[in-house]
Structure 1
């Protein structure tokens, strides 16, 4: 239902199905963010999903090792803070503009120092403020919501000592004493609550300051914060309000979506460049922090509100404007592709891509008058095989199970660490896109696929934490994009490589919602699609890199919490760098045509003088066609026979000719 305000609260529920914004287990800050109404009835509503989960085989495929998570919480995979929860050693996390790490007896906070090389923009760990409390021996994540996480520091007996809240966009750590304590810094505070470590000036608001110590009574809160370069922390002190919970509201209009992230109270927070470009009611700037994503503008307000363009999403390419000659060309290629035999992989990544590929081929064939009746029956049978709820009790591939420990859907033949919840939105986006395309005019097929495919949708996009699935598993509302690593065992934070497959996930969700007649889920998918496309352009495909003159490339391959790399996980070749920001170049990825004047130089960097006759260059050619149709048509013969497994020659030809 476009034009209607939708509300989401993302929480870690202390009880399996209890929805409490910003909750913690045990004593801690009382959330001030108001409870959010449940979303409108949808195919992924918690009650309906519970019945679907009940019908699925139950199996733990991968051990997430959630060693620092309070009992009862839904495991927070694919979050900016996942490294705090999983694995033997807690990893640093990066709630911009800060870096924060757990250390013996407490925590350390710092402002990453930006260092630039030809292929990397790195937020180096600098000398930071270390804050410790006597008796602290362990740490446990006890709650999380849309943009913050609560960590309880405990003593040897398991009693809570301090509750820390880290919040995306907030340059301070909110600390609440769970008993009377003294928090010690490694340097003394001035009378105005200011201390300097290295080149960073820190401030504190709350408690009783005495030398290096800040004494807090039980239940008392303080904020330790870092000031922007050149700004006296004392001038910001009264604005450093403790955050007690975050929530989000969004609204989808005809041309844009609007997102409002609430911090529960007016406090210091920063806007990233994509916020700044479309911010609503920005207010006074209080300074700026450097970061690997560009300057972060500091303000004081209760909410951060920004807009993002909406991009049209269709199930198939629109070939209605083609000439008869072009239609005959596509028809000839489609006849060959339909006659060919292509593998149907059994894992969730390549299996989903294959279904997506075949659904697009069938759609194009239908538009150019090529009979594909037999092939449609084959593809329909294949996708229905994946959609059998109990298939995992009968076979070891082409099936899904529900992992009760991890709280999610996992394919039995996993790939790229999907058993640890890596890349679920990439994988399931292909399945949902294929289903939405094949069932666009076939409600009976949608109904047959729904018992499993609604669970795939819930796995990546549940609108609330139901206890069976987390809310929006990998999507970071503040950052405006998804995170791909399930458990994030990295010192640079979480990461995402394929911005385009992330956008494709929400296009697929939108198409599936349409096939299901689910207006509420379609509206949610529209919002996610708009935000992910906005940041895909801003930070990966068409980034403004003017703040990083030593970085010599036009695109970014990997975005992390603390760095950006001209690299991929699978290839150092320039064409692979561009491909992974374009794949699958689907009909729901119209944002790729943004700023066509930038496209030729980006393609030239990827392809060089060697032409398109190489692996992955089919995607580069399709991207090139968005700015130079004639040149791309002339180059089409170069990619013949070198087509990615997510494409057909039919699709590449139709894409280029329909520009």
Structure 2
């Protein structure tokens, strides 16, 4: 049999991909790099950059296609087998013997600082192949939006496995042998027998249905190695069951032979209703009979926002209870609560203080940006300062911040002969890696080069900075200027086009889990992780702002979908807004990191300081962070826990401005007083400024917090509620003409062109 695997990134394939990419991109090849309007990027990896590995564990069918990274299953792509993966309600790991399968539900550990559902070393059992005791490797053979196919092959012996989020089923096809199940101890058999094709078993406290083809039989049921004799067929499936009732197994049997072959998400944004509708579709192929559709599970952020009638089955998971549905699709509808491109101007009473803080920010010494993340943080600081200076009438400061912002951004978005000739770090630019289908900032940071980590975190700051420039200078954002380069940054982290020749579809976003993943390779026993929810929301809001500034509704709507979906995931899994996820003894203020297999409360990958751990869910505070303010009681609960977790307030050093900003959600007067008393004594967190902190705290003190019960028929808006001052309605109009806006409570206003419009009602 012809070997179907590709063992290394062949030079001919890379050159073919490069040619296709050059022809597909709105760019031209230049001696200094690839031009995109006034911007450009390098087509080669810098000599000093951390190299990406050459090996990609994929099959021939996936050659010359953009490679998906940053997925829950990515370790299968990067390694010859895989680390543990978490397609809830299951956990799996690829090994030489086959696929090790585990159901974490019965074994969840709820400890003071963690909800742990990581995969046990031995799992529940291994699904292997009778013809092969040790496969040389497993490779990615296909994928869709939340499913993946893995291929095992050795000579004539093949096993293909398909599995994914939200499916209790794992599907197999075989060549040259039969399914072989290997147990640590003989499981309890409670349905079927040697002559039946379907078995119900309990192993390690979990219940499974084993579904051989009709007419198949079993051998070895009294031992620890069971074989399903396929009787001339090539398919097999396994389902983790919610209980061990025969009626439940028979319900699952109805769908066990309808193998899922594709999964696809689609979304729409209804501007009039301010709603995001997401549809999750399963395509199935019946191996027996004519039944279509499947049984699927839904996460809490899904079943709380769908009208799909659930079946009477539930699974415990590290994300909370999973509800079960039936069919080939389901839909969620979530409200979009709006964002603002900048914080509203401070009142007259605060203006002199704001001007002094802006002057302080203007005179701060240059610290430089050693890498792409440091540069991103500085861009974020300048992006916040520029509108504050404009709105405060500080024209000289505004020009200063705008020139710095534009100069720094253009430097990164341009690759020149000088960049090419530099031997060390003074140069800063982006380069494209054809083998891994990605654009990388150099000098890199956070493993964004060697493992493709956190591209959305870095790119989001760049895109938001570009959106701020475009807000004041639309020509700068044209394709003939720097708009083309910004669009490449967007496509690198979240291309909405499944046919994109340069980048994979939604690289970092997991449509089914409802949130993004940070690691490009996911080489952890706990799966992939997300430990910076605030910066993720910054990234998605940048798409909304860029789309509005450039009159690109597709990008704007993509941003609204990602922002709204991830916001609901954050509220459920990071902040426990409904108080249904964290157990009573969970002590941290909120989740520090979400992993595939656990929720961790007291540490990120870089810190165990309580304030720094929790600040990852806040920063950068901005006009797109108002969702954090929608429940002052939730913020009060988290702030109280934070102060209890700290040894003393010295733990807040370097973060004091952020702590005051979070305190202001529930205690605005106290936060404002504390800020004013201590501002001369501390430095703002990198990427922030005391002027920005003062604007945020003053906003909450004067206008109140977000009222999420009122929406508007425009994308850039906010509604505040204040216990004494009433409701304040704010709209930002990016267009050059007045826009009539209607709020869901009947309030109307005409939004002035290219600016903010406010209305306050008692």
Is TM > 0.5 for Structure 1 vs Structure 2? yes
* Distance 1:89-1:165 versus aligned 2 partners, 3 A rule: closer
Paired position in structure 1 for 2:325: 299
1:57-113 deviations in Å (ceiling 9; x for gaps)? 223443245442224143321000001121355211110000011133321211112
Select the residue among 362, 366, 373 that pairs with 1:342: 366
Secondary structure at the aligned position of 1:239 is classed as coil
Asked if the contact 2:113/2:587 (under 8 Å) is kept, the reply is yes
Asked if the contact 2:24/2:501 (under 8 Å) is kept, the reply is no
* Distance 1:402-1:303 versus aligned 2 partners, 3 A rule: same
* Distance 1:587-1:552 versus aligned 2 partners, 3 A rule: same
Paired position in structure 2 for 1:205: 211
Select the residue among 47, 65, 86 that pairs with 2:78: 86
1:450-478 deviations in Å (ceiling 9; x for gaps)? 23222111100111242421111010000
1:367-386 deviations in Å (ceiling 9; x for gaps)? 01112223422321121111
State the 4+ residue runs in structure 1 displaced beyond 6 angstroms: 15-18
Distance 1:218 1:518 in 2: 54
- The worse-fitting range, judged by mean Cα deviation, of 612-621 and 581-590 is 612-621
Matched, 1:329 2:353: yes
- State the Cα distance separating 1:502 from its structure 2 match: 0.7
Secondary structure at the aligned position of 1:287 is classed as strand
Paired position in structure 1 for 2:458: 427
Matched, 1:257 2:276: yes
Distance 2:405 2:586 in 1: 45
- State the Cα distance separating 1:150 from its structure 2 match: 0.6
Matched, 1:549 2:549: no
Distance 1:67 1:110 in 2: 26
Paired position in structure 2 for 1:152: 151
- The worse-fitting range, judged by mean Cα deviation, of 388-397 and 548-557 is 388-397
1:616-658 deviations in Å (ceiling 9; x for gaps)? 2322221221222211111113354231111011100011101
- What is the TM-score normalised by the length of structure 2? 0.76
Paired position in structure 2 for 1:317: 343
- State the Cα distance separating 1:545 from its structure 2 match: 4.9
Distance 2:212 2:26 in 1: 44
Distance 1:278 1:627 in 2: 27
Asked if the contact 2:25/2:502 (under 8 Å) is kept, the reply is no
Paired position in structure 2 for 1:21: none
Distance 1:569 1:180 in 2: 44
Distance 1:119 1:626 in 2: 25
- State the Cα distance separating 1:206 from its structure 2 match: 3.8
Distance 1:209 1:505 in 2: 53
Matched, 1:69 2:58: yes
Paired position in structure 1 for 2:599: 564
- State the Cα distance separating 1:46 from its structure 2 match: 9.5
Select the residue among 157, 161, 174 that pairs with 1:164: 161
Matched, 1:635 2:674: yes
- State the Cα distance separating 1:217 from its structure 2 match: 6.3
Matched, 1:111 2:111: no
Query: Which structure carries more strand by proportion?
Result: 2
- The worse-fitting range, judged by mean Cα deviation, of 256-265 and 170-179 is 170-179
Matched, 1:451 2:446: no
Paired position in structure 2 for 1:135: 131
1:157-179 deviations in Å (ceiling 9; x for gaps)? 3x561221111110111112345
Matched, 1:237 2:253: yes
Paired position in structure 2 for 1:584: 620
Asked if the contact 1:259/1:305 (under 8 Å) is kept, the reply is yes
Matched, 1:622 2:657: no
Matched, 1:393 2:393: no
- What is the TM-score normalised by the length of structure 1? 0.88
Paired position in structure 1 for 2:311: 285
Asked if the contact 2:80/2:138 (under 8 Å) is kept, the reply is no
Q: Which runs of 5+ in 1 are unaligned?
A: 1-14, 19-43
Matched, 1:223 2:237: yes
Asked if the contact 1:84/1:92 (under 8 Å) is kept, the reply is no
1:270-321 deviations in Å (ceiling 9; x for gaps)? 11111121122x22323111111111112222113212221312221112xx
Asked if the contact 1:17/1:467 (under 8 Å) is kept, the reply is no
Paired position in structure 1 for 2:442: 412
Q: Give aligned pairs, total.
A: 615
The structure number with the bigger radius of gyration is 2
Distance 1:50 1:205 in 2: 52
Secondary structure at the aligned position of 1:427 is classed as helix
* Distance 1:54-1:275 versus aligned 2 partners, 3 A rule: same
Secondary structure at the aligned position of 2:389 is classed as helix
Asked if the contact 1:119/1:565 (under 8 Å) is kept, the reply is yes
Secondary structure at the aligned position of 1:523 is classed as helix
Secondary structure at the aligned position of 2:150 is classed as strand
